[in-house]
Amino acid sequence: MKDVFDVINNCRSLREYEQDEEIKKILDSGFKAPTDRGEEPWHFTVIQNKDLLNEIDELSKKSNGKLRK
């Protein structure tokens, strides 16, 4: 089994997925991840619309700046 720190340090982002099956595998892995006391408090949102992703990114940047002031 890989050391958790190796996995974290060697993690890379994938920006585009060709098939819905890959997204399902990623989500399934997330659902199987261990949680504190088995509470399973997840919520995943998959957004594939590039324009919407850009809009969320811009809003997030603006919001983050307001929180830091």
Q: Which sequence spans correspond to the domains of the chain?
A: 4-68
Cα 39 from Cα 53, distance rounded (Å): 29
Are the CB atoms for 47 and 53 separated by under 8 Å? yes
pLDDT of amino acid 52: 95
Which pTM value belongs to this model? 0.49
- pLDDT, tens digit (0-9, with 9 covering 90-100), for 12-26: 665 555 668 888 888
With CA atoms as reference, report the closest residue to 15 among 56, 44, 48, 38: 48
Ranges of the chain whose pLDDT falls below 50: 69
